Structure 1
Amino acid sequence: MSFLIDSSIMITSQILFFGFGWLFFMRQLFKDYEVRQYVVQVIFSVTFAFSCTMFELIIFEILGVLNSSSRYFHWKMNLCVILLILVFMVPFYIGYFIVSNIQLLHKQRLLFSCLLWLTFMYFFWKLGDPFPILSPKHGILSIEQLISRVGVIGVTLMALLSGFGAVNCPYTYMSYFLRNVTDTDILALERRLLQTMDMIISKKKRMAVTRRTMFQRGDVQNKPSGLWGMLKSVTASAPGSESILCLLDSTPPLCIRGGIKSNGE
C-alpha cells in the first residue's frame, strides 16, 4: 500500500513538472517562433520532468521522505527513461531532421535516419573503450555501461565547451569594442534596417489581403461551432491559411519579432 501511495506522489509530481516544462517551452524558448515542432516540445517536457524528478528524489533521500524501496525503484526508472531519451530518441530525431532537410533523401528519410543513428551508436560505444569504465561485474549491454559512457563523454564535452567559451567570448566581444565604426557602416546598417521594415510592411499587406479574401469567402464566419468544430479546426486548415504560413516561414525571425513589436506599439 505504501508503494502505491509513493508512486502516486511521484506520478503527480512528474505531471506537474511536465506541465511546467511545456509552459516554459511555449512561453520562453519558442515564444517568438511561429513554427511548432510538437515532438521536440514533448521530448523537452519529458526530459525536464524526469530530470526534476531525479532532483526531487535526491531531496527525498536526504530528508527521508517515502520508502527506500520506492525511491530506489523510481530512481532506476528515471535513469532508464532519461538514458532512453538521451541515447536513442534525441540522436535519432536529430538525424531525422537532418535527412528531412535534404531533398534527395526525403523519400527514404526513415532509412537514412536509422543509418545515422547506428553510426552515432558505433562511435558512441567506441569512444568509451579507452576509458576505465568496463567492469566484469556488469554485462556489455547493462545500464551501467550507458551511464558510464554518458558521464565520461558528457563531462569531457562540457569541459571542452567551457574552455572554448571562456576563450572565445572575451575575444569576440573585444573585437567588437576595438573595431572602428565608420559612417559607411552606420549607413549600411540603416539601409538593412529599412529593407527589413519594407519587407515586414509588404508581408503584412499580403497577409491582410489574404485574410480579407478568406473573410469574403466565408472562411471566417462559417466556422462550425461545438466540439466537432473545434476538432475540425485543429485537424483541417483553411484554404488561405497555407499562404499565410508560407509568408511567416519566408520571413526571418528578426522580421517576425519586429512585426510583433510594431503591432504592440
Structure 2
Amino acid sequence: TQILSVSSLLQVLFFGFGWLFFMRKLFKDYEVRQYVVQVIFSVTFAFSCTMFELIIFEILGVLNSSSRYFHWKLNLCVILLILVFMVPFYIGYFVVSNIRLLHRQKLLFACVLWLTFMYFFWKLGDPFPILSPKHGILSIEQLISRVGVIGVTLMALLSGFGAVNCPYTYMSYFLRNVTDADILALERRLLQTMDMIVSKKKRIAVAHRTMFQRGEVHNKPSGFWGMIKSVTTSVSGSESI
C-alpha cells in the first residue's frame, strides 16, 4: 500500500509538471481550448517519467522486483493504449470535426481513419521479423516492436533534420558583427580605388592623345590584323628587292 501511494503521488507530480510545461512552454503563445489534448499529453508525460523512474529504481535496487515488474507492466500497457489507440483516434476525430461536410457523422469517419491507421500500423511489421509464435497477434510485444520501429525511424529523420537545420540557424552567432565604422571604412576604400582607376584612365587617355598628335598611333598597326598586315608588307617588300 505504501509503495502504491508513493508511486501514485509521483505520477500526480509528473502529471502536474507536464501540464505546466504544456501551458507555459509549448503553447504559451497559443490559446488551447482542447483540454483533452492537455490531458493526453500530461498523462503520457507522467507515465513516461514513471518508466524512467522505474529504470533508476532498478539500478539503485529500490523496491522489490515484483512491485517494479507490476508497475512497469502497468505503465507500458497505459502508454501503448495512449499511443496506439487514443492519440490516433483523437487526431482523426479532430481532423473530421474541422470538415463541415463530415461534421454530422464525425464519429464514424474518425473510426474509419483509425482503422486505416491500424491497418498500415500492422502492415508495417511485415518486412521485419516481428511476429513470433511465442506471442499472440494482439500481445504487448507486437505493439512495442512496431512502436519501436516507428520511433527509431522518426528519431533518425529528426536527427538528420536537426543536424542540417541547427548550424544553418545558429551560424549567425559565430559571425562578426558589422558596425557602421566598418561600412564607412569600406566606402572610403571603394572611393579611393575608383579615384585611382579614374586617374589612371586619364593618364592613358592623355598618353594616347599625345601619341596621336605625334602620328604614332595613326601609322603604327594595331591589333591582330595590323600585325598580319605589317608582316605581309615586309614580305612583299623583300620579294620586290
Give TM class, smaller chain: 0.5 to 0.7
Letter in structure 2 aligned against 1:56:
E
Tell me how far apart the structure 2 counterparts of residues 172 and 118 of structure 1 sit (CA, whole Å).
Answer: 40
The correspondence of residues 43-192 of structure 1 with structure 2, limited to 5 A, is: 43-167=40-164
SS of residue in 1 equivalent to 2:89: helix
Aligned twin of 2:234: none
Q: 1:107, CA displacement in angstroms?
A: 0.9
Aligned twin of 1:19: 16
Q: Percent identity?
A: 89
Q: 1:145, CA displacement in angstroms?
A: 0.3
| Alignment TM-score, normalising by the size of structure 1 | 0.61
Tell me how far apart the structure 2 counterparts of residues 155 and 67 of structure 1 sit (CA, whole Å).
Answer: 31
CA RMSD of aligned residues (A): 1.7
Number of residue-to-residue matches in the alignment: 171
Q: 1:120, CA displacement in angstroms?
A: 0.2
Tell me how far apart the structure 1 counterparts of residues 77 and 32 of structure 2 sit (CA, whole Å).
Answer: 31
Q: Which has the larger radius of gyration?
A: 2
Q: Which runs of 5+ in 1 are unaligned?
A: 175-265
2:62 maps to 1:36? no
Tell me how far apart the structure 2 counterparts of residues 55 and 29 of structure 1 sit (CA, whole Å).
Answer: 22
Letter in structure 1 aligned against 2:21:
F
Tell me how far apart the structure 2 counterparts of residues 48 and 95 of structure 1 sit (CA, whole Å).
Answer: 21
Tell me how far apart the structure 1 counterparts of residues 146 and 167 of structure 2 sit (CA, whole Å).
Answer: 32
Higher RCO structure, 1 or 2 (CA under 8 Å, sep 6+) = 1
Q: 1:173, CA displacement in angstroms?
A: 8.1
CA deviations on 1:148-201 (whole Å, 9 max, x unpaired) are: 110112102221232244345656888xxxxxxxxxxxxxxxxxxxxxxxxxxx
Q: Which runs of 5+ in 2 are unaligned?
A: 172-241
Q: 1:44, CA displacement in angstroms?
A: 0.6
Aligned twin of 2:7: 10
Higher alpha-carbon deviation: 161-170 or 51-60: 161-170
Tell me how far apart the structure 1 counterparts of residues 167 and 70 of structure 2 sit (CA, whole Å).
Answer: 46
Deviating runs (4+, > 6 A) in structure 1?
171-174
